[in-house]
Homo-oligomer: A and B are copies of this chain.
């Protein structure tokens, strides 16, 4: 293990490290080289080769995913709702340009149609070219991939047309900011079928506490206080390593009580998933007391 020496700052040459920081802490990931860099109309999209974490996608230098640990995030965003909802046929995905969420969805043969709405074609193009293990299902026949504004899309979507909606957004700056608003989630609610489920990337309780708490409050206002369930995932290459996802339903299944353990266990084994298993599914909803208190849920 290296320790910082008086001249340690020299090791953070920006040609060698990608730094994701706030004003209290920073996560730095060491890079070999930049494989892709393009300024889209929305943001700067880059792909790097790292030391030990495989290839990495960043947006405005915030870590979106690394090959080493992207399965944690994508497994938990997708398989948690898939094993509580008994019969998902129509799925809407907002964001998800890297394709990892789609790769996990198409493992489930019962799904009939997936509509994905990603605002930035550069993310999709970069991922297809440089992250083939993550983007592998972006040409799947069940997928309808639209390059469009997800906020506008859900505003115009038909009522009660999806069983599962996944909000796989980047952080609430730039084009993703509107994905953290009440108006957006009211539209999401409306276009969900009764019994339908939503999972949402809901930020880090420690790195982005304000966004984390406000989004939870917003979701409770839209879905009802008993229908919103925060869960936690270890994502070592995100700052603090502690990330939250949130499960909401429209009078639908409870995320733990309605877990189909047998189906989950069989699938996990057949598909050789890296992170998800039925025990981890249940465990993720058990929050440390200080997180419960942040959300006004402590008992």
The residues of A with any CB-CB pair to B shorter than 8 Å are: 1-14, 17-30, 50-53, 60-62, 69, 71-72, 171, 173, 204, 206-208, 232, 234, 236-237, 240-242, 268-269, 273-277, 279-280, 282-284, 286-290, 299
Contacts and interface: CB of A to CB of B under 8 A. Distances in A.
Given A275-B290, A289-B276, A4 B24 contact: no
24 contacts: A1-B62, A1-B171, A3-B19, A3-B60, A4-B21, A4-B61, A5-B14, A12-B12, A23-B51, A24-B29, A25-B29, A26-B27, A26-B30, A28-B28, A71-B290, A232-B234, A234-B241, A236-B240, A236-B242, A237-B240, A274-B288, A275-B289, A276-B289, A279-B287
A290 B75 CA distance: 12
Contact of A9 (B10, B208, B276): B10
Contacts of A24: 29-30, 50-53
A280 B288 contact: yes
Given A9-B13, A24-B29, A274-B288, A208 B1 contact: yes
A4 B46 CA distance: 13
A116 to B, nearest CB: 26
A43 to B, nearest CB: 10
Contacts of A62: 1, 3
A22 B71 CA distance: 22
A23 B31 CA distance: 10
Nearest to A279: B286
Given A24-B51, A27-B27, A9 B14 contact: yes
A6, A10, A14: residue with the most chain B Cβ atoms closer than 10 Å: A14
A268 B289 contact: yes
A86 to B, nearest CB: 23
Contacts of A171: 1
A96 to B, nearest CB: 21
A28, A241, A290: residue with the most chain B Cβ atoms closer than 10 Å: A241
A274 B240 CA distance: 18
A7, A72, A242, A276: residue with the most chain B Cβ atoms closer than 10 Å: A242
A216 to B, nearest CB: 17
A284 B280 CA distance: 9
Contact of A288 (B53, B277, B287): B277
